[in-house]
Structure 1
Amino acid sequence: MLVEDIAESDFLPLSAILRAHAARRGAAVALADENRRVGWAELDALLDRVAVALHGEGVAADEPVAIAALNAVPTALAFLGAIRAGAVAAPLTSTATPETVLAMLADSGSRVLLLDAEMAGRLAGLPFPAHVKRIALDDSDAGLPFSQWLAPEGARPPEPAPQPGDPFNIIYSSGTTGSPKGIVQSHKMRHEYARRTIRGGYDDDTCVICSTPLYSNTTLVSFLPALTAGGKVVLMKKFDARGFLELSQRERVTHAMLVPVQYRRIMEQPDFDSFDLSSYRLKSCTSAPFAAWLKADVLKRWPGGLVEGYGMTEGGATTLLVAHEHPDKLHTVGRVTPGHVMKIIDEDGNELPEGAMGEIVGHSPLMMNGYHGKPDKTREVEWYDAEGRRYIRHGDIGRFDEDGFLILMDRAKDMIISGGFNIYPTDLEAELVRQSAVREAAVVGVPSDKWGETPLAVVVLADPAADPPADPQAILAEANARLGKTQRISAIEVVDELPRSPIGKVLKRELRDRFGGNPILAASTGQDNR
């Protein structure tokens, strides 16, 4: 099976693709971590052993299999082995609170949990469901050791024959908007991701580095296509900027999917330019706002192209900004991908004309089946056009420019309504971070006696030890001098770091909870000068 066949096929099951690559590629490395390297033929045999072991636990077709562990070869084997068994991979957000992890486990309905010692330690002392069997992926005492649990060498399961619409995996949302929900993605949806990515240049010589967790869709949209194309995946247990650069140089990495905060930390390495990154063909970015200045720095100093993708784990439509081809559009997230449809609607669900600003909805082959066991929540994120076509609400506010490039304004839930005016925090954040004294900024709406809601800035200083120290009120005044009267920021708080999800999204809900307890008195605010 050639990569070209996969790219042109409407649908091929992943397990069949991996088996074909194993027969063709033999000892070539398929998976690697800091301790282990697994060739293609060995990978195929191990997936068979995982699948047979899952069948031995009574796991049936389309049944979820829960996984909660750091990035490592066994974690990848658990995910891919569940698919080989005809089951549904359900990687849990292992960095969530232990109580939330157990809630996800219960929501998934899995009777098996493959975990590592770190996850087991975090769950210690909590009531663990007696009916769930624990398998220790790292052969620790977290459960039955993985090496003992595996089926004997040479074991081979029945070949799964999934239909395109059958569930492939459940991805739990990061929880930035409340309780995580299980997003069910189909075999067809995963194949479409892989096919699109392969067309972008993945092949046998591809080496992808995965430095975000395998429970994240951000990771899976590079992890799965790399294997689908017959390439190699290198797994980082935990991200650190210098380790990433060292690994990129040593493994001759060709592709990476990173989130913006990772790009910033990598580019800030004092000796970044001393590393040989000439093997890179393409870097990608998704999951959080990617500042135009940071894109420009990556383009200038890091070999290979740069593509920013905008979309939802739930699906909908995707836009792509090929930054190296459109350096004048770095303030956008690109154009809508061919075959996808994106519309802008108002708060009443009416479609808006071209160029208008409103809520983004999208339709494409990349659409979730729904939220696992939550039909009501699924309906909340669906929108149907006049012809009855299903769209997913992206939850973002945006507009298209005259060239068809999408400009994101903000998350709909983060928009601030102050004195009857709509205020988009990204505009305010841009004015804060343009100041040399500010490293990062987030603006949230908090209660106000006069305006109902008012903007509060939370900033991380570029140099907290500066002498003299940066003056927060001067930062606030300079930003407000550039903002419109209705946009003015009321107050400023300085923190050591912004709270983030494991894939780099700023957790604005936490900032609102922390700083929004007491209404800001308008008499002392910058907004008083409207």
Structure 2
Amino acid sequence: MSTGQPSPAAYRHPVPWDATFDPRSMVELFEEMAARQGSAPLIDFMGRRYTYAQVRHAADRVACGLAAMGYGKGDRIGLFLPNVPHYLAAYYGVLKLGATVVNFSPLYTVAELAHQVDDSGTRLLFTLSATALLPTALRVLEASGLERLVVGQVAGALPPLKSVAYRLAKRREVAAIPRDPRVTRFSALIANSGGCAMPTLDPARDVALIQYTGGTTGSPKGAMLSHANLSANAQQVASLDPERGRGVDRILGVLPLFHVFANTCVLNRTVLTGGEIVMLPRFDAAATLAALARTGATSLPGVPTMFQALLDHPDTATTDFSSLRICISGGAPLAAELKQKFRDATGATLVEGYGLSESSGVVSCNPYEGEPRAGSIGQPLPGTRVALVDKEDPTRPPPAGEPGEMVLAGPQIMMGYWNRPDADAEVFVDTPDGTRWMRTGDVGLVDPDGFVRIVDRLKDMIAVSGFKVFPSQIEAVLHHHPAVKEALVIGLPDAYRGEVPRAYVTLEEGAEADGPALAAWLNPQLGRHERVDAVIVRAALPKTMIGKLSRKDLIAEVTAQASAG
């Protein structure tokens, strides 16, 4: 294997690469911080603040309420919630109980939610009395093995005046909570003292979170993340900041907490450092800019489309960004042009990182200080090993100088997939030295200083006349055109060559360019086998639940159109 281990002299993160992290439970980390600074704010929700002590007491009452219902250690409890204070109370309450959190996206359909409820064996589901959530949850209650719902209300979590305004203005967005013995109000669940006994946790063995993968191919799989996995990744991410402990730590929580990126970088890491989460129910550019101005937030994790949306919003020109210090981009490649534009507009540092559900969120990141390495996802986090293996045979190294599939080892790597030993056998590779490596499906290169560059995903590669074409390389060229805002390249069937690349783009506001002109500009810059058969200009490109461009959904759209036509 080609490990690409960075030398001490080349490693640019503040903590040494060979640092170790003791296995600790997420409950222990939370309890320590709540005891240390109970009166400090943990949540700012639309102007209402909740202290560490208040969230701790709410989590205790959630745990005791669940225990009184008969739930306990090892049970799977689902969170079907947006970013609201209920999420933190439920998250830590479930973990205190010794149960396992299962994250579910509020964007799931009934069929998707029911499938994952049954697959995980989720017994109880937390949700809200929102028309976008409760009707779906009630249908899943009838269509799956789910036993109970616990239903909260947003109005009760808002500041008093906003609560009244919400009840008046948002009546049509609130669903009636039915009188059903299987449905419990959140307020009734926590109507206790919170003084029940809590179980002892084994950080390395107890599953804290089942995080379902995005399902790029086939059905999503549940990554089992232990307490030790999550706490290690929180410590690793916190260690990246050379300014840790020297000033205000206030993070804009606009990424959805049900996603692993936010779970580590917004929630777990911020609790570990004693920071404050400025929580928004969902990403909205205007609301995010207003929250930044109101609170003086210091950091903002997001995906590239979020940073682009902020740049596109007219309020950006008048927003005070002076407090904003660090923004971390993940989930999709960050175009160099977008990075520079954001830095010019805000003065904040925007760094690119990389991670997976199976890695508790984060594997590598560019250093916060110093010149970035162009086109790189940075150096591995402390304690993380990245190696390259042959794309066809993971037991061998790749040919010298050629890209290889990235494999990972570290304290944040998952225990395995929930009830999927077949998938575990495919994703894990053991080496004679006793290291258990996890295959990523991503093809990369590692430079002599240990900086990693993703070439593409194995499953995304396009086979053109026997040659492998990487869509991301064509997309990178397209981003150099001043009119191109977003780009996706997919492979389409071709009778002669097997597959042919085709590009789909959106344009910058006010830009004028058509597909043939863009193709004529693009193709001379590509190898003969990489050249696209067309560039299609669209008003929008499909995106995932967290706002990153979705190649899978674009392929599905194009395939459906071809079948219909």
- Fold conserved between structures, TM > 0.5: yes
2:556 equivalent to 1:513: yes
Residue among 241, 256, 280 paired with 2:300: 256
Q: What runs of 5+ residues in structure 1 fail to find an aligned partner? A: 521-530
1:80 equivalent in alignment to 2:92: yes
Contact 1:344–1:356 (CA under 8 A) maintained in structure 2: no
Deviations 1:171-196 (A, max 9, x none): 11123333221111011111111212
8 A contact 2:43–2:277 mirrored in 1: yes
Q: Do structure 1's residue 189 and structure 2's residue 194 form an aligned pair?
A: no
Asked if the contact 2:21–2:232 (Cα under 8 Å) also holds between the matched residues in 1, the reply is no
Q: 1:53–1:518: structure 2 CA closer, same or farther, 3 Å change rule?
A: closer
Q: How does 1:328-343 map to 2 (within 5 A)?
A: 329-343=373-387
1:18–1:227: 8 Å Cα contact kept in structure 2?
A: yes
Match of 2:193, SS? coil
In structure 2, give the amino acid aligned to 1:512: I
SS in structure 2 of the partner of residue 439 of structure 1: strand
Percent of aligned pairs sharing the same letter: 29
Query: Does the alignment pair 1:364 with 2:410?
Result: yes
2:177 aligned with 1:141, yes or no?
yes
Q: Aligned residue for 1:524?
A: none
Q: Structure 1 residue 282 and structure 2 residue 326: aligned? A: yes
* Structure 2: gaps (5+ residues): 1-14, 155-175
Alignment CA distance shift 1:274-1:168 (3 Å) = same
Q: 1:345 to 1:315 in 2, by over 3 A?
A: same
Of 519, 524, 527, the residue aligned with 1:481 is 524
Instruction: Choose from 477, 496, 500 the match for 1:454.
Output: 500
Give the corresponding residue for 1:92.
104
Contact 1:212 1:502 in 2 (8 A): no
CA contact 1:66–1:89 (8 Å) conserved in 2: yes
Q: 1:23 is matched with which residue: 18, 21, 35?
A: 35
Deviations 1:339-394 (A, max 9, x none): 22211111122112664212111111111011111111122211223434211111
Moved more, 105-114 or 150-159: 150-159
Shift of 1:45: 1.1
Contact 1:315 1:392 in 2 (8 A): no
**TM-superposition CA deviations, 1:133-158 (whole Å, max 9, x none):** 01102276163210012141353432
- Paired position in structure 2 for 1:322: 367
> Aligned with 1:184: secondary structure?
strand
- Distance across 1 between alignment mates of 2:537 and 2:23: 51
> Does the Cα contact within 8 Å between 1:292 and 1:330 map onto a contact in 2?
yes
- Are residues 238 and 262 of structure 1, via their aligned partners in 2, closer, same or farther at CA, if it must alter by over 3 Å? same
How many Å separate the matches in 2 of 1:518 and 1:100? 23
Distance of 1:348 and 1:518 partners within structure 2: 36
Q: Find the aligned partners of 2:493 and 2:560 in 1 and give their Cα distance.
A: 8
Distance 2:139 2:70 in 1: 28
Which of 136, 149, 152 aligns to 1:122? It is: 136
Rate the CA distance shift 1:19–1:365 in 2: closer, same or farther, 3 A.
Answer: closer
Provide the rounded CA distance (Å) in 1 between the counterparts of 2:248 and 2:484: 41
Q: Is the 8 A contact 2:226 2:415 kept in 1?
A: yes
Q: 1:415 and 2:461 equivalent? A: yes
Please report how far the alpha carbon of residue 296 of structure 1 lies from its aligned counterpart in structure 2 after TM superposition: 2.0
Distance 2:20 2:299 in 1: 22
Question: Any conservation in 2 of the 1:456–1:490 contact (CA below 8 Å)?
Answer: yes
Return the alpha-carbon distance in structure 2 between the equivalents of residues 120 and 397 of structure 1: 41
Cα separation, partners in 2 of 1:154 and 1:481, compared to 1, 3 Å: closer
Q: TM-score, normalised by structure 1?
A: 0.90
Paired residue type of 1:480: N
Q: 1: CA distance between counterparts of 2:346 and 2:561?
A: 45
CA shift for structure 1 position 163? 3.2
Decide whether the 8 Å contact of 2:24 with 2:203 is kept in 1: no
Structure 1 residue 490: Cα displacement: 1.1
TM normalised by structure 2 equals: 0.85
Output the CA distance in 2 between the equivalents of 1:42 and 1:517.
51
Q: Could you tell me which residue of structure 1 aligns to residue 147 of structure 2?
A: 132
Residues 329-338 or 347-356, more deviating: 347-356
Is the Cα–Cα contact under 8 Å of residues 212 and 219 in structure 1 kept in the other structure?
yes
Q: CA deviation at 1:297?
A: 2.4
1:212 to 2:255 alignment: yes
Q: Give the superposition deviation at 1:290.
A: 0.8
> Does the CA contact (< 8 Å) of 2:117 and 2:146 recur in 1?
no
Offset at residue 519 of structure 1 (A): 8.5
Query: Contact 1:64 / 1:87 at 8 angstroms: preserved in 2?
Result: yes
Q: Displacement of 1:21 after TM fit?
A: 2.6
State the match for 2:67 in structure 1. 55
Q: Per-residue deviation at 1:256?
A: 2.0
Task: Indicate the SS of the match to 1:498.
Answer: coil
Greater RCO, CA 8 A, separation 6+:
2
Shift of residue 293 of structure 1?
1.5
**In the aligned structure 1, how far is the partner of 2:137 from the partner of 2:381?**
42
User: Counterpart of 1:326 in structure 2: which amino acid?
Assistant: E
For the residues of structure 2 that align with 1:355 and 1:165, how far apart are their CA atoms? 39
Please report how far the alpha carbon of residue 124 of structure 1 lies from its aligned counterpart in structure 2 after TM superposition.
Answer: 5.5
CA RMSD in angstroms, aligned pairs only? 2.5
Structure 2 Cα separation of the partners of residues 37 and 147 of structure 1: 19
Give the Cα separation in 1 of the matches to 2:24 and 2:151: 31
**What's the counterpart of residue 515 of structure 2?**
472
2:198 maps to 1:158:
yes
What residue is the counterpart of 1:528 in the other structure?
Answer: none
2:444 is paired with a residue whose SS is: strand
Q: How do 1:350-361 residues align onto structure 2 when only pairs under 5 Å count?
A: 350-352=396-398, 355-361=401-407
